[in-house]
Structure 1
């Protein structure tokens, strides 16, 4: 429990984490406002995924959290006042690498779950205020799917960063794929197997209308994404325990 509290304090002390919180809350809300206004102006309605599509973009905040939770141990932002890497101090305080990783994972899960819940509440409240008629509250049943997707995405980023020990590559690839050019979606035009990439499988947890060659159920999509996360975390943990800090 002490290690968990320490990791929570460490995580919330990072400026990049607060930037991730701002991105995770403000981006979906702003996109929802713009998209809802456009739908109203065009007299179009019936988009059952309004708000949820935007929350899929807001997951960038979860990506940042998952990456910096690991990369801060090896970069300048995570360095101690004495100039050494944070990972040295962390392993001095918590010598067990297994216990350190469990505490770090628990801190990430807690933080991202809270962030996803707050972001969803703000975004769906925005939808309700703009459209009314229960447009926002009707989607509350999908809220657990959003939270799970954000948490799994953060853990995916966490696992990749454990393997690379550098945040630049995971941040670049994952943020670009999530928000700018969805490479995995483009790959579905070449092969239906691309549907089983973790991001595309995971969005089925809360997105209802999808243009994909294979329609996974929410449960199947969640299981596929969980399998990816478990594999990456296992690989990352093995690498972390076997190489020098």
Structure 2
């Protein structure tokens, strides 16, 4: 428990984490506000707010990456001018325990962020009668799994630049995975597209997954990446 509290304090001390929180809350709220009037003119949009929350997951991506990459950089007051990973392994020698507590702290922050962001965003569209707070757990789970996916990729690369670039571009600029569905229906099983099904009702994909199936597919991707990431993390020098 002490290790968990230490990881939580360490994570919340990073300036980039608070940037991620601001992005995660403000981006979907602002996009929803701008899109709400147009959606009303289109006889409503059942996914209004939820589509915007899919973009807001950028905040979760940043959190998932910096939770791991901060161990290898000098960001934050705890870095001490060197790599944090040496100090972390001195305090918690077990790499398995260190990784579990680190991910647990990150999940806590991401889940709280997703809940707040969803509440703010869906409140904006509630007056239009198209919001559905029953889908909020799907949003929270999607954000948490995306953050874990980002952490897994960062464990493999030991650097946050590549995971941030790939995941943020795919989420907010050019959705490469969606374009790949035009070439093969198997692309619908990529983690981001499968995860959409947990909370977005109208999505044009060649394979229609149920919310539960979509969540299971995304969870399988996350489990595979985290397993690979831990094996790499355990086997290489600090």
TM range (shorter): over 0.9
Residue 167 (structure 2) pairs with residue 174 (structure 1): yes
Structure 1 moving runs of 4+ over 3 Å: 78-82
Pairs within 5 Å for 1:155-174: 155-174=148-167
Q: What does residue 135 of structure 1 align with?
A: 130
Partner of 1:68: 66
After TM superposition, the score normalised by the length of structure 2 is 0.97
Alpha carbons 1:201, 1:222 under 8 Å: kept: yes
Q: 1:18 maps to which residue? A: 18
d(CA) in 2 for partners of 1:47 and 1:84?
A: 50
Offset at residue 82 of structure 1 (A) = 3.9
Name the CA distance, whole Å, in 2 between partners of 1:31 and 1:71: 29
Correspondent of 1:228 among 209, 221, 233: 221
Give unpaired runs (5+ residues) of structure 2: none
Please give the alpha-carbon distance, in whole angstroms, between the structure 1 residues aligned to 2:73 and 2:213: 37
Specify whether residues 127 and 91 from structure 1 end up closer, same or farther in structure 2 by C-alpha distance, changes over 3 A only.
same
1:194 aligned to 177, 187, 190, which one? 187
Give the conservation status (yes or no) of the 8 Å contact 1:73–1:87.
Answer: yes
Partners in 1 of 2:201 and 2:51 — Cα distance?
10
State TM-score, norm by structure 1. 0.95
Q: How many residues align?
A: 238
Q: CA deviation at 1:78?
A: 5.0
CA distance in 2, matches of 1:39, 1:221: 26
Instruction: Name the residue aligned to 2:101.
Output: 103
- 1:8 equivalenced with 2:8 (yes/no): yes
Q: 1:216 to 1:81 in 2, by over 3 A?
A: closer
Corresponding residue number in structure 2 for 1:145:
138
**Displacement after TM superposition at 1:17 (Å):** 0.3
Change (3 A) 1:82 1:29: closer
Name the residue aligned to 1:119. 117
Higher deviation after alignment, 31-40 or 224-233: 31-40
Q: Could you say what the CA RMSD is over the residues aligned between the two structures, in angstroms?
A: 1.1
- Cα distance in 1, alignment partners of residues 50 and 83 from structure 2: 39
Unaligned stretches of 5+ residues in structure 1 = none
C-alpha displacement of 1:188: 0.2
Contact 2:44 2:130 in 1 (8 A): no
